[in-house]
Structure 1
Amino acid sequence: MSRKTTIKAAIATGASVVVSVSICLLLVPLLGGQPDGPGFWMSVFCPLVIAGPASAWQFHQSEVIGNQRDEIARMHVELEDMHAELRHIHEDLRARARRDPLTGGLNRGALFAELAEIAPSHEGPAALLVADADHFKRINDSFGHLVGDEALRRIADAIAASLDEKDMWGRIGGEEFLMFLPATTRTRAVAIADGIRHAVVTADFLAGGEPVPLSVSIGVASLRDRFEPADIFRQADEHLYRAKSGWRNRVVFDGQELERFQQEWEPVLRPQLHENKGIEH
């Protein structure tokens, strides 16, 4: 029992004694008796015997209940903090599960899940771009996989820097990237694809002081309204294949090729093409 409870019990007991003695001194004379002798001492002794332990027990129980209530309140606060931390961890894990750890873009599952959700209610023009690093196997073979990883990060940086917040992009496997541009005209889609291609091929990328040749080919498929993700992806992938079956470092959109890319880069890429005959696209 705490000191505070002991003091409160003593005060309550003293008050009980005072009340009991006061009643004895006032009531007994009214009844024709004398407030002395055993009756007086009983008015003192009874409150001490009864009120003392009773008040001590009552105050002690109140203190215990108060302490337990405070402990429950503290535990409730800690539980809410733990729930908040668990929610934060869950959200962080969920975000990580949607991201490609190498490039920071969405992973394949997250990209196609988003497309499946958008497709049924999509309205207006949009475009889907598929980009693939050219001769990526040669980069890994010549410079090592760490340089290959850095090459993918450079491409991802070029993509991220070219898009707006409303655009969606990610890595769908190996050295291949996908971009979905909602509310996008065909002109903007081609301009973005051209900008990404140009940013990648002109990047100052060195490994051990030696320049690493880096370029991407991009297929662009435009759409005007609701779409089927598999169909629009297939179209963009076919355009990508056409871009890679030429000199690469090209953009092919809706079956058309930007010929100025060929005029601009063919003198540079022709020696590489002859050197790398037979390399897979």
Structure 2
Amino acid sequence: MTELRRELPRRAWRRIGRVTGAVTAISVALSVIFTNLIMEMFSAGINVQGLVVSIVMPIALGGPMTFVLVLKHEQLRHANNRLEHLATTDWLTACLNRGAFTRAVTDHLGRRKSATESGALLIVDADDFKSVNDRFGHHHGDEALKLIAAAIRHAVRSSDLVSRLGGEEFGVFLADADAATADHVAERIRGAVAAIAFLPDGQTCALSVSIGGATYAMRAEFGHLYRLADRHLYEAKNTGRDRVAMMQAA
């Protein structure tokens, strides 16, 4: 039971309790009604012994059976949720993985309510990250990536999507954001990463990111936005790094 408590979240146990209690109560009520109907056919109705039996039997037999069935259902639900999480989440940073991010953005662009709805795609790339791995090892490089991912998530809005696209590259999708908002969020991300106190082996190691972005105010496709944002990421890299380069896509 201790392992089960650790495996299932608290809300799952609350559901198990509610469903088991409700089904058991209904079973008891139906048992009393049917027992009374049967007893009325042969006598004056249900007596004390019959009432006790009609209440105890559903609780003693139906309660445990219902608990086990609902428990197995919740375990299956929890296992499926974990599999879905693993299939859509980057193992290191807990951001969306590339596939899940691409699908989510593509779906959003495909179901936009208005042809004039605006938004933006940002590509965030850690500057000179190879030197971090070379100087301090991949273990500290992984720690730096987790810090960068946390800084990005903290800097964006709750409705924005954050993904690790691969290596030291991250994607951010800003729904319902105009060019000014997108630029503001991108600068906030850049500043949040620059403010990270990264001290591998006690040594100070500055972190920074370059950000390329593409905003849209009309119909847009993920592939087109990605190519534009990637082009401007290289522009940000080539003009000094630790900066933002944005472009209106359409």
Give the Å deviation of 1:193: 0.8
Structure 2 residue 84 is the aligned partner of structure 1 residue 94: yes
In the TM superposition, 1:132-281 aligns within 5 A as: 132-254=125-247
Moved over 3 A (4+): 66-74
Report which of the two structures shows the higher radius of gyration computed on alpha carbons. 1
Kindly tell me the number of residue pairs found equivalent between the two proteins.
191
Moved more, 208-217 or 136-145: 208-217
Question: In structure 2, which of residues 101, 104, 108 is the aligned counterpart of residue 118 of structure 1?
Answer: 108
List per-residue Cα deviations over 1:184-220 (Å, max 9, x = no partner).
Answer: 1111111111111122123221112211121100001
Amino acid at match of 2:78: H
Q: Which moved more, 1:126-135 or 1:239-248?
A: 239-248
- Structure 1 window deviating more from structure 2 (67-76 vs 179-188): it is 67-76
> Structure 1: how far apart are the matches of 2:59 and 2:240?
77
- How far is 1:77 from its partner? 3.2
Q: Runs of 5+ in structure 2 lacking a partner?
A: 1-52
Greater mean alpha carbon deviation, residues 214-223 or residues 91-100: 91-100
Show CA shifts across 1:103-162 (max 9, x none). Answer: 111111110010121111223110110010011111100111111111111111111111
Q: Distance in 1 between matches of 2:64 and 2:170?
A: 50
Between the aligned partners of 1:68 and 1:121, the Cα distance in structure 2 is 50
- Partner-residue secondary structure (3-state), 2:218: coil
Verify the 8 A CA contact 2:155 2:192 in the aligned structure 1.
no
Give the whole-Å Cα distance in 1 for the aligned partners of 2:95 and 2:83: 15
Equivalent-residue separation in structure 2 for 1:201 and 1:210 (angstroms): 16
Deviation per CA, 1:65-86, whole angstroms, max 9, x where unpaired? Answer: x979964663343112211121
**Which residue number in structure 2 is paired with residue 107 of structure 1?**
97
CA shift for structure 1 position 171: 0.3
Helix, strand or coil at the partner of 2:163: strand
Residue identity (%): 40
Between the aligned partners of 1:177 and 1:96, the Cα distance in structure 2 is 18
Cα distance in 1, alignment partners of residues 64 and 184 from structure 2: 59
**Amino acid corresponding to residue 80 of structure 1 in structure 2:** V
The two structures have a TM-score, normalised by structure 2, of 0.71
Matching residue's letter, 2:186: A
